[in-house]
Chains A and B, each alone.
Chain A
């Protein structure tokens, strides 16, 4: 939309999240500056390289923590900037966080539950497999 067709109208890159209606009824929405898009993209590429690079060193139990931390960082960048949530209605963020909270509850409780099971459960075919391995 150019100022030629809509005189007096301009896009302010620092608008707040809710669209603003101006006098002739037209809607301002926040437009993401290209610099931010490129900046976020560049950081995402670096983080991907980091994701692969950290696998070259073994941190023991921390391996998965580090991998997930980098993934969460990348996800936060995509959500806030590419998905525009930073400038959006807060309720959309509430929906997202709720979904994530429920998934984490689901996984957390399931792992807790699975920890209550018999530790050395042997599937039915295993004894036969062991016998055939030993040539019996």
Chain B
């Protein structure tokens, strides 16, 4: 099935040099030449990718601000993410990028079988990614780690109710009892007098020991990593209040990325159907090219998400 065949009017070009193009079923009537059409499509796709970068940029901004303001929260909460699964997902997406680029090359050379094979491999990679993502999400949901206030770590004054669950989960994930616990927490909280009207204000500096950071935690003498994994006990009340925010950011970013993967899977399936119908060849492979660009962007975003979410230390 051709794309614009029915719309192509056969017009006698004034000098006759390009009239053969008007028999090209893939050339839309408002373009002079196929390469102009292809370049225009590519330009449009890059502009769209620019908007996608800006959209994810907003989420990366949220991530950056929260991490900048509450580094300990990120250091603590990311321990619940499975690094192995994250690494597997990264390798799967990079491989799917390879197969997609190979597929574009195959469409340029008119290699129909290779093209379909590569598109199917890309689809399988995407499906594998979503399977791993589902495993990760379900393990979170089983532990009551959700995106909003239902989150295990949400502390609206009801912290004591969840504390046992948090400690149990912590023991399971961080194996805290296997590590030598420090005699005293490395990071302690500073509880100012409740009647102090300046509590939380700039005057805090007056009543707080000099080695306490503005977040209310004692700065460790040595690297906290030397003391074993960061535990909930070692977070101050302000930090505990913020732990669920990390998971909100995690779910929003990986979730939006996952939606993009699903959309990509739909588009690549469409390409498989069209390729099977012999619609692509050296004179017209633009859809494969452009959807390939979209897929590489999806891979690019994950390349940044993986170290920023999973590998914090």
Contact = CB atoms under 8 A, between A and B. Distances in A.
B213 to A, nearest CB: 9
23 contacts: A19-B39, A27-B33, A27-B282, A29-B108, A34-B102, A37-B101, A45-B91, A52-B83, A52-B87, A58-B225, A71-B303, A79-B300, A89-B42, A95-B49, A95-B50, A99-B50, A99-B53, A103-B57, A110-B64, A122-B238, A126-B238, A130-B189, A133-B160
For B21, B50, B281, the residue with the greatest tally of chain A CB atoms inside 10 Å of its CB is B50
B176 interface: no
B140 interface: no
B61 A106 contact: yes
Contact of B46 (A21, A78, A92, A129): A92
Given A26-B283, A41-B94, A122-B199, A103 B54 contact: yes
A133 to B, nearest CB: 7
Interface string B132-176: 000000000000000000000001110110000000000000000
A126 B245 CA distance: 16
A119 B215 CA distance: 7
Interface in B266-313: 281-283, 292-293, 296-297, 299-300, 303-304, 306-308, 311, 313
Contacts of B204: 119-120
A25 interface: yes
Contact of A106 (B57, B200, B214, B293): B57
For B38, B98, B160, B293, the residue with the greatest tally of chain A CB atoms inside 10 Å of its CB is B98
Contacts of A130: 189, 191, 237
Contacts of B240: 129
Contact of B216 (A89, A118, A120): A120
A95 B39 CA distance: 14
B64 A82 contact: no
Contacts of A133: 159-160, 237
Interface of A: 1-2, 11, 18-19, 21, 24-27, 29, 31-32, 34, 37-38, 40-41, 44-45, 48, 51-52, 55, 58, 60, 63, 67-68, 70-71, 74-75, 78-79, 81-84, 88-89, 91-92, 95-96, 98-100, 102-103, 106-107, 110-111, 114, 118-123, 125-134
Q: What 8 pairs between A and B have smallest CB-CB spacing? A: A103-B57, A119-B214, A99-B50, A122-B200, A1-B282, A67-B307, A19-B35, A99-B53
Instruction: Name the interface size band of chain B.
Output: 35 or more
B9 interface: no
A24 B21 CA distance: 10
B259 interface: no
Contact of A100 (B38, B53, B83, B307): B53
Contacts of B43: 89, 91-92, 95
Given A32-B105, A131-B194, A132-B157, A71 B307 contact: yes
A62 B286 CA distance: 42
Contacts of B91: 45, 48
B57 A83 contact: no
B49 A96 contact: yes
B225 A118 contact: no
B184 interface: no
A96 B46 contact: yes
Given A19-B35, A107-B61, A129-B237, 12 more contacts: A25-B33, A31-B105, A37-B102, A51-B90, A71-B308, A82-B100, A95-B43, A95-B46, A99-B51, A110-B65, A127-B194, A132-B160
Contacts of B121: none
B69 interface: yes
A107 B59 CA distance: 10
B182 interface: no
A107 B60 contact: yes
Interface in B65-117: 65, 68-69, 83, 87, 90-91, 94-95, 97-98, 100-102, 104-105, 108-110
Nearest to B307: A67
For A67, A81, A82, the residue with the greatest tally of chain B CB atoms inside 10 Å of its CB is A82
